[in-house]
Amino acid sequence: MLGRFFRWLFTPSARWSLFTLLLVGCVVGAVGVIGTQVMVHVTGTDEFCGTACHSHAQFVYPDHKTSVHYNNRTGVRAACVDCHLPHAYPAKLIAKAKAGIKDAYAEMRGTISTKEKFEAERWRMANIVWDEMKADNSANCRSCHDPAAWDVKKQSEDAVKAHKKFTNGKATCIECHAGVAHTEPEEPKAAPAAAPAAAPK
Ligand code: HEC
Ligand code: HEC
Ligand code: HEC
């Protein structure tokens, strides 16, 4: 059965001209490319990332809306995807697919479905993001904030001094600027020593 299918698949067509076959191939290809772009766009808005999952709509999005990257003087916003996904193809598509599967699975399991669970998981999740950003020298931050374009005369003395550490390769943006898009989570205190067993009455 399988053998017959493969023989049919690889036999030159007697009915369809090469032109027709090429045309069909081009149409299928174009639909695939355009369809992918549309999907990336539709599933890449803050509205989608912030509300498609109940847990994000409840905690993550409202928290983000109070940050400088959503609400600021000049009205320019950073979207979730500007910070959380690679910008280059095909890395963006691969990261998007992985995040989509992981998030859908976690949403079904209810990993951060309540305030208590969200607060308990926050430090772990934030560390994943910090590690990624340290690993690529905060590439996504630099896609908007280009140090080469800084007018240091307009920056505070503190900023200019601290930014030398970046220029010297001693520290990257996220090591000093955590919590610019969400409330910065606190490191959980070490688990208290097990309570002594209650004395028998
Ligand atoms: C899509 C572009 C974009 C990306 C990506 C981005 N930012 Fe920003 N950032 C902005 C804008 C716009 C502002 C607000 C400017 C204003 O105040 O009008 C801002 C403000 C800031 C400020 C000033 C905060 C304050 O309180 O005034 C810091 C610090 C900062 N960003 C750091 C970062 C870091 C670190 C990252 C990476 C995690 C990052 N940004 C990613 C666009 C971006
Ligand atoms: C060693 C720590 C450190 C590193 C690394 C660092 N910054 Fe800063 N940054 C600071 C400090 C401190 C300030 C001043 C904060 C203030 O004045 O309130 C500052 C200020 C800023 C501001 C606000 C400037 C203004 O005039 O309002 C932006 C935007 C910013 N940093 C972005 C970045 C980006 C992007 C990177 C990576 C390319 C980066 N920083 C790396 C410590 C750092
Ligand atoms: C300016 C960059 C930036 C933007 C925009 C941004 N994030 Fe984040 N996100 C971060 C960083 C950095 C962390 C690590 C924790 C921190 O420093 O606040 C983080 C952490 C998180 C976490 C882990 C939980 C937590 O609260 O720390 C989730 C979930 C998350 N982001 C989702 C989103 C979603 C959804 C959006 C859009 C509504 C968004 N982020 C927008 C940079 C960003």
53 CB within 6 A, ligand 3 = no
CATH assignment of the domain containing 104 = 1.10.3820
Q: What are phi and psi of 155, to 5 degrees?
A: -90, 155
Residue 8 lies in a domain: no
**Candidate of 83, 102, 132, 180 to mutate for ligand 3, largest count of ligand atoms within 8 Å of Cβ:** 83
DSSP type of residue 200: P
SS (H, E, C) 129-178: HHHHHHHCCCHHHHHHCCHHHCCHHHCCHHHHHHHHHHHCCCCCHHHHCC
Distance 42 CA to ligand 3 centre (A): 19
Residue 42 lies in a domain: yes
Q: For residues 82 and 176, give the distance between their C-alpha atoms in angstroms, rounded to a whole number.
A: 19
Residues for the chain: how many in total?
A: 201
Residue 165 Cα: closest atom of ligand 2: 1
Residue 68 lies in a domain: yes
Residue 65 lies in a domain: yes
Residue 125 lies in a domain: yes
Q: How much is the pLDDT for 50?
A: 95
Q: How much is the pLDDT for 189?
A: 82
- What total number of domains does the chain contain? 1
Tokens of 84: 């959380």
Residue 160 lies in a domain: yes
Q: Which pTM does this prediction carry?
A: 0.90
Residue 35 lies in a domain: yes
Residue 185 lies in a domain: no
Q: How many CB atoms within 10 Å of residue 81?
A: 21
> Residue 65 corresponds to which amino acid?
K
166-196 confidence digits (pLDDT tens)? 999 999 999 999 999 999 999 988 766 665 5
42-51 confidence digits (pLDDT tens)? 999 999 999 9
Q: How much is the pLDDT for 197?
A: 57
